[in-house]
Amino acid sequence: MSSAASIPLRPASSRDLILLAARAEFADHGFDGARLQAIAARAGVRHPTLLYHFESKELLYRAVIESVVGDWAVETEAAISTGLRGFDQVAALVDAGFRFFERNRDFVRIVRREAIEGGGRMEAQMAEFVRPFLEDAVRFLRREMRGGRLRRHDPLELMQVIYGAVFTYFSDARFRANLTGEDPLDARALRRHERALMKLLGAALEPATGS
Amino acid sequence: MSSAASIPLRPASSRDLILLAARAEFADHGFDGARLQAIAARAGVRHPTLLYHFESKELLYRAVIESVVGDWAVETEAAISTGLRGFDQVAALVDAGFRFFERNRDFVRIVRREAIEGGGRMEAQMAEFVRPFLEDAVRFLRREMRGGRLRRHDPLELMQVIYGAVFTYFSDARFRANLTGEDPLDARALRRHERALMKLLGAALEPATGS
DNA sequence: CGCACTCTACTGACAAGTCAGTATAAAAGT
DNA sequence: ACTTTTATACTGACTTGTCAGTAGAGTGCG
């Protein structure tokens, strides 16, 4: 992990290395459990270097959240501006989620920790950020249900259920691994779960009464 | 909070008070974030008293988990030994979950923290504990699907989705509160969500093609 | 030189855990 | 009945370790 530390071949700026290391450490241990020394070690520097680039642990954490949420925003934006209708759009969004979370496993665990906290460190900002996206989604669902392209369900509660299911799969992956013995983040297992969720949602949402 | 401290009228043993206080504190802040002093304050004692009853922070934490998981085991056992069939049994289980989590809000957040951790403190034991219950559920679902009393879905993935949805509703309740403005743990909101989830599951699982 | 960056060495705060006691009450001895 | 002993429950003061954050001295590069 630190084998490349001495090679000066631009192994990304050390600021970025630190950000990446911090993301992993915060995901593994949460804000309180995370140690600056551990982050520094992961990044291949000494811990005062962290405090040179980011003024404090708190600000480093904020920087991590912002980078992580920023990435997510971009991909989600893309997934909802496809012009698809009915269940196809729902499926596209779920699929985008799966693909993003698959590549950003730490993201989920950090966000979830924030969500649990409640009085959390960045909860308010994150809510601010998610709200417009959620409202968009609810508007879309309502429209499609009115138009008969989706069966009628409470849109907000539907979003909550989908969010809960998808998020949990990733945030609790290690627990599931312990339970079933196989790695849930393995591509095969992931596809199986995605297919199962899609089928479930399809069965509940698609207007046609297919098998 | 400490107003009853001097009254000797058995305000529950202080061991139990400590256990209760610790449950809340660990739920709010996680293992690392929790402070023994804070737990002690909640329980109305000084922190060495904690270490008198429980040898260390770690052991106090384990005691909390055990008490919490024990409570859950009893209720779950009751909910699955009803002899119901098909969707009714699924609904009964989901309902039991809702009612237990409603009364034990800290439970969810503690368990979820463990699940995220991965290399967690009690993950292995908890997996050990959940596995037989999960296997039971999967067996039940498979049987009912074979018998045509439930539509066919991957039983394990179905359980995962249900678990994710229900658990998230409670563990992330404070985040949702921030998002929607209303309290998700209020009885009315809770019933609405439960009804929505049931409808969704019913639509996906009940064999009849009713409206 | 001066600037950006990283290091070693250190500090101050704070938290877990230890310890030597005090208070109270139940048991045991006379 | 009354002291003495023993166990339980709890506390204030202390020790020890750890961690975030600071100071200041390099190092290398334009």
> Do the domain assignments include residue B211?
no
Strand, coil or helix: B151: coil
- Of residues B171, B173, B183, B138, the one with CA closest to residue B157: B138
pLDDT in tens, A56-101: 999 999 999 998 888 888 888 888 888 899 999 999 999 999 999 9
* pLDDT over 60 at B89, yes or no: yes
CB-contacted nucleotides of strand C (7 Å) = 5-9, 15-20
| Domain of residue A159, CATH code | 1.10.357.10
List Cβ neighbours of A208 (8 Å cut-off, separation of 6 or more): none
State whether B18 and B97 are in the same domain: no
| Domain of residue B20, CATH code | 1.10.10.60
State whether B71 and B35 are in the same domain: no
> Do the domain assignments include residue A7?
no
State whether A131 and A86 are in the same domain: yes
User: Does B75 touch chain A if contact means CB atoms closer than 8 Å?
Assistant: no
Mean pLDDT of chain A: 89
> Do the domain assignments include residue B173?
yes
State whether B83 and B37 are in the same domain: no
pLDDT in tens, B27-61: 999 999 999 999 999 999 999 999 999 999 999 99
* pLDDT over 90 at A122, yes or no: no
Up-side HSE of residue B93: CA atoms within 13 Å toward CB?
Answer: 22
Contact A178 B151 (CB under 8 A): no
Show the tokens assigned to A151: 């069966």
User: Does B182 touch chain A if contact means CB atoms closer than 8 Å?
Assistant: no
The predicted model scores a pTM of 0.89
pLDDT at A12: 74
* pLDDT over 80 at B104, yes or no: yes
pLDDT category of residue B118 using cuts at 50, 70 and 90: confident
State whether A132 and A201 are in the same domain: yes
Q: Which domain holds residue B171?
A: 64-205
Which amino acid type is present at position A181? G
State whether A48 and A110 are in the same domain: no
pLDDT in tens, B141-199: 999 999 999 999 999 999 999 999 999 999 999 999 999 999 999 999 999 999 999 99
The spacing between the Cα labelled CA in B36 and the C1' in C17, in angstroms, equals 11
CA distance A81 to A92: 10
State whether A72 and A32 are in the same domain: no
* pLDDT over 70 at B209, yes or no: no
CA distance B113 to B130: 16
B51: burial class by Cβ within 10 Å (0-12, 13-18, 19+)? middle
